[in-house]
Structure 1
Amino acid sequence: MAFFSAPLHRPLSAMAVAAFAAVTSIELPDRLSHHHRLVGANAGTAMPLPPSTKPESAPPLPSTSALSGLQFFSRNHHQAVFDLAAKAPVASLPVMNMVYQYARFTKAEGATPAVPSLSTDALYRWHLPHPGARSGSSDDRSQTVVVLLGWLGSKQKHLKKYAEWYTSRGFHAVTFTLPMSDIVSYNVRGKAEKNVEMLSEHLADWVREEDGKKIVFHTFSNTGWLCYGVILENLQRQDPSAVHKIKGSIVDSAPVAVPDSQVWALGFSAAIMKKHSVATKGAISNDTRSDVLAVESQREIKPAATEAVLLSALEKFFDVVLNYPAINRRLSGVMEILSSSQPNCPQLYIYSSADRVIPAKSVESFVESQRKAGCEVRSCDFVSSPHVDHYRSNPGLYTSELTKFLEDCVLTPQVDESS
């Protein structure tokens, strides 16, 4: 996440635009555009919102043009889609609950449990367990939701493969992303944090439905990790009992637990330039087996001239932004929660020595500090895979680590903490 505040927003945004303009080969408007309302072949048959969730019934929010809360398209339940889009906080918890209930309804009607892929993106999506998944299992997978918090620039389509892995094994999954436009225009306690707060409220509501429900967080990069910190802050303030329902955290390609301008510059550069970024390059391996890691020395790969200009401008940009008092306090506060006030649950850190955005030493230092604090921590260095690319680079090892962690630390019956 980028943490901007109102007094700095205009001049710093102008500086950012100037930096982005240096990368003339990239289609920046597409990278930084707001989410649009859903449109499709069946848009003419859109179902209206119930009165309680219509935007008109909610208190006004800043920049409320073209609000879209929850929209259903097509009466064919196999093609039903929903979009909370950028203005979902207008409807808040009632809409979020409707999303979950609608997912249950489509499952009962025989639809696929996960929402179909869309041409536009939503902030939030609930994926139900696949029918019959682990039907003979005696554990409580169906009572567990895995919350996937995306990296900077990620979209629902990027998190879909992770959600499908979990739902195919009987878990619920929630995929959550923040638009880059919301992050670039960040205000402390503003829209981006309201979106995270909305998710926090819904998760607390879900675990209160009945005894035995659990939450597992799976975060990606520093953006997802910081979202997790804000959710923890919300739950600790609003409903501490929900924190005890968190039974595990999986941290992919993070953290750097200090405000570091170089890390933020690299993260934004990777999000903007995608496959053109040096951050997408890892070490080279000649072995194609899924259970073998590359161990040869990592070659030094320098960024192209356009990315070098962008990185230089972004680093100077974040030198100013991250030292702005309000932003620095907010970031430091969230990082302090993640460093010192995490739930008493097992943690798994997945990282790589070849990651050019999040240094492996930063992850290993944080892991060691958590162990010294008495936390149950596991970690795995993928050695050669690029930033947030470990699943694609080595699916065998990645899924093996997830499976062992879930079976050993989440699904094994735990002693009741309240006893």
Structure 2
Amino acid sequence: MGDNDLDYNVVFPEALISEKHWRGSKEPVVILLGWAGSRDKHLAKYSSIYNEQGCTTLRYTAPLKTVFISESLGYKELRSTAHRLLELLYDYEVENNPIFFHVFSNGGFMLYRYMVELLHSHKQFRSLSVVGSVVDSAPGSQNVIGALRALKTTLGPKVNVILQYLLLALFAVAVFLLRIVLYPLTKYFHKNHYDAMMEQPAPWPQMYLYSRADRVIRYREVEKMVKALQEKGLKVESFDFISPAHVSLYRDCPEDYSSRCRTFLSCCMASTSEESLVKKRSQVHR
């Protein structure tokens, strides 16, 4: 279903399944942000990991032009998309439920960055309770070759070869100039997603899943982000699947991947419940 031109899908759990897993508590709402070029049928497979746990899921993938063109040229088009996605929580009356993110590749991470910023700064969204996030095959920074590989894969064989190479060449020049050569200047107007999240990270628990065989996102950049966040005192976990290709962790290791996501969500929910109990006890003793 869609909200004007916002193409998203929401799945609500069966009441009995939700009650079985969350025992009277509000079920988590898992927001899945797809990689550039992913289709809803792809995200639906990941959505089922959480639907089977009695969660509500909201899945969305940003348009290619927004990820590869608008962001590369410094237009913050994704910020308005992030705002509208968060407003959907109020439209579906789940704004009081725990929120959990599952983010894929730079395409999802770029959108996630703006959602985090809004959750930090926007008066309406500051009241939302985010319990954690899983980041799959992201984030990467200033990897022109990796970005070109992602764009080439996304364009696919249906696009004319000459047109494909023309688009790749234009994209490479734009990214190289604006995101590398001129970045010391342009970052004052528009920081890239990597630097922005390094400086003002999400405060909730995070788990980064990646592979050192990924040819789009360099694994060292994921590890650098994890280390930086841990040094800031944040609860951050990571796991290297070693051999899968970009955003192929679940496809190659379905049982391990699913288990890690479910376990992490359960830990985040348990941690949030414990923190709520501590707050209530402290208020009683005042």
Q: TM-score, normalization: structure 2?
A: 0.81
Give the letter for the 2:266 counterpart: E
Q: Give yes or no for the alignment of 1:263 onto 2:146.
A: yes
Match among 211, 233, 240 for residue 374 of structure 1: 233
The question of whether the paired residues in 1 share the 8 Å contact of 2:143 and 2:217 is answered with no
Deviation at 1:372, TM superposition (A): 0.9
Q: Which moved more, 1:216-225 or 1:227-236?
A: 227-236
1:129-278 to 2 correspondence within 5 Å?
129-139=13-23, 142-186=26-70, 191-203=77-89, 209-210=95-96, 213-239=97-123, 242=126, 245-256=129-140, 258-273=141-156
Which residue is 1:322 aligned to? 179
Q: Give yes or no for the alignment of 1:393 onto 2:276.
A: no
Structure richer in strand, relative to its length: 2
Deviation at 1:376, TM superposition (A): 0.9
Q: 2:85 & 2:91 partners in 1: Cα distance?
A: 10
Which residue is 1:415 aligned to? 275
Counterpart secondary structure, 1:133: helix
Deviation at 1:327, TM superposition (A): 6.0
User: For the structure 1 residues 375 and 140, does the alpha-carbon distance in structure 2 shift closer, same or farther, using more than 3 Å as the test?
Assistant: farther
Counterpart secondary structure, 2:221: helix
Structure richer in helix, relative to its length: 2
Counterpart secondary structure, 1:265: helix
Query: Where do 5+ consecutive residues of structure 2 fail to align?
Result: 158-162
The question of whether the paired residues in 2 share the 8 Å contact of 1:207 and 1:242 is answered with no
Q: What value does the CA root-mean-square deviation take over the aligned residues?
A: 3.4
User: For the structure 1 residues 398 and 369, does the alpha-carbon distance in structure 2 shift closer, same or farther, using more than 3 Å as the test?
Assistant: same
Which residue is 1:345 aligned to? 204
Counterpart secondary structure, 2:132: strand
Counterpart secondary structure, 2:133: strand
Which residue is 1:35 aligned to? none
Deviation at 1:266, TM superposition (A): 2.5
The question of whether the paired residues in 1 share the 8 Å contact of 2:29 and 2:94 is answered with no
The question of whether the paired residues in 2 share the 8 Å contact of 1:204 and 1:239 is answered with no
Q: 2:35 & 2:134 partners in 1: Cα distance?
A: 14
Q: 1:389 & 1:310 partners in 2: Cα distance?
A: 25
Which residue is 2:160 aligned to? none
Deviation at 1:357, TM superposition (A): 0.4
Q: TM-score, normalization: structure 1?
A: 0.57
Q: Cα deviations across residues 145-164 of structure 1 (Å, max 9, x unaligned)?
A: 00000111112121111112
